[in-house]
Structure 1
Amino acid sequence: MNEKVITVGIADDHSLFREGIRLIVDDFDNIELTLEAENGQDLLTKLQNNTPDVILLDLEMPKMDGVETLKRLKEDCNYQELKIIILTMHKEERMIAYLMELGANGYLMKDAEPAEFEEAIRTVYEEDHYFNESVSHAMLKSLKDKSNKTPTLRNNYQLTSREMEVLELIAKGLTTTEIGKKLFLSTRTIEGHRKNLIGKLGARNTATLIIKAVKEGLISLDF
């Protein structure tokens, strides 16, 4: 059986950067760049006829920047399954946390190595989120620093002990397969728990699930 080809789109106002990404992606097995846009407006227009699995979205663009584009996409029911990786040259902690809360699935520095681009695309497609070590630290540290919220009792969300186990392992960065092996459960069962957690906490995706769990005091993370 042929492996599924992951389709990718990029929105960036610099044509040379887009061409560089195309050359990089061409070297990845079963990943194909199928859409290029020069700003957010251009992306929204082209998505009507071509919706890739993953979008690489630049933050700073004319006409419509990455923040506004992300908001529009996450508010549109037609793009609920679209995975969005933010591209930027800035690693500002509050901005990272803000974008993840808006529903971004990952955050990647534009000067990252090709191998990290490939890892980010595959991980976002397969696991719904991608946090590298530095971004995870920045995002979760920002959440802890700015949140004075009293932790919510776990029972308020009616999470089972198994769901709490899965939630804590997701927050530690384990993949669905790794969690399944650790808990001696099938990947389908773990995926079911993940979807239940997203529903119970009212999260947009796995990334916002982790954010909300930290904010609500359901899990704690030490650096």
Structure 2
Amino acid sequence: MKLQNDRKINIAILDDHKMVAGLLRENMKQFEFVETVNLFFTATDFFDFLTTNKIDLLIVDVFMPEMNGVDIVKKCRELHKSSQMKIIMLSSSIEYKVINDAISFGANAYVTKEDLPDEVSSAIKYVFGDNSRPYFSNNAREVLLNDRFEEDNLVKLSPREDQLLKLICDAKTAKEIASELDLSINTIHFYTKRLMVKMNVNRTPDLILKAINKGFVLNLNRNMSSNISAM
């Protein structure tokens, strides 16, 4: 497979799943349009590298430990326009909100890990062609078509509710959240109950799981993750 004008590109893969990232790198090396493939497991290492090196294409996972993929896309777009660096979002998540946020903040394509590896190469060819619209893999496209009008996708959170939800998912107690937001504990409990009503759940663990599954929260405290799994 060749790109337009037989150009060669420098690729960065940012994914903390080392086996998946390694397999993807080996797959990318097989294409004649690839000049280099650099592998990163943290956003910090990637952005440090980016300060002195040119990357034509970033393939980034949504769920990263220190900075989620959507925030990585936003930061990349502050540094480089789409014409300077293409971004393919790669993830096991196929929730409508995650896909929509990724594209809204500047990703050129969204590919799910179930689609690997053929969809990645198709996405690369597409984003380096004369295409202004984003590329969606088969699974991502199906989600956008089928789930767009589902009731769960219509949940709208106020800025305060969104802030509270992220703190809850970061394993903060009501007392810690009240202190951080400069609100009373009773107010925190009120907002939490209202969140549960909006998300149609009755328990905090269910609220956290739904927030993650529906893409409202992309960074999860690893201790909290273990606690949820044990519940």
TM over 0.5: same fold? Answer: yes
Count of residue correspondences: 147
Q: Read off the aligned partner of 1:16 and give its amino acid letter.
A: M
TM-score, structure 2 normalization: 0.55
| Gapped regions of structure 2 (runs ≥ 5) | 155-231
Kept in 1: contact 2:28–2:34 (CA 8 A): yes
Structure 2 CA distance for aligned equivalents of residues 120 and 78 of structure 1: 18
Deviates most, 50-59 or 129-138: 129-138
Structure 1 CA distance for aligned equivalents of residues 137 and 119 of structure 2: 9
2:164 corresponding residue in structure 1: none
1:138 aligns with 2:143: yes
Kept in 2: contact 1:57–1:86 (CA 8 A): yes
Structure 2 CA distance for aligned equivalents of residues 112 and 140 of structure 1: 17
Name the larger-Rg structure. Answer: 2
Cα distance change of structure 1 residues 66 and 92 upon mapping to structure 2, 3 Å threshold: same
User: Percentage identity across aligned positions?
Assistant: 28
Structure 1 CA distance for aligned equivalents of residues 104 and 81 of structure 2: 19
2:72 corresponding residue in structure 1: 69
CA RMSD of aligned residues (A): 2.6
Q: What is the CA distance between 1:25 and its match in structure 2?
A: 0.8
**Which of 93, 98, 118 is residue 96 of structure 2 equivalent to?**
93
1:54 corresponding residue in structure 2: 57
1:30 corresponding residue in structure 2: 33
Kept in 2: contact 1:25–1:32 (CA 8 A): no
Structure 2 CA distance for aligned equivalents of residues 100 and 141 of structure 1: 18
1:83 corresponding residue in structure 2: 86
1:102 corresponding residue in structure 2: 105
Q: Read off the aligned partner of 2:137 and give its amino acid letter.
A: N
2:203 corresponding residue in structure 1: none
TM-score, structure 1 normalization: 0.57
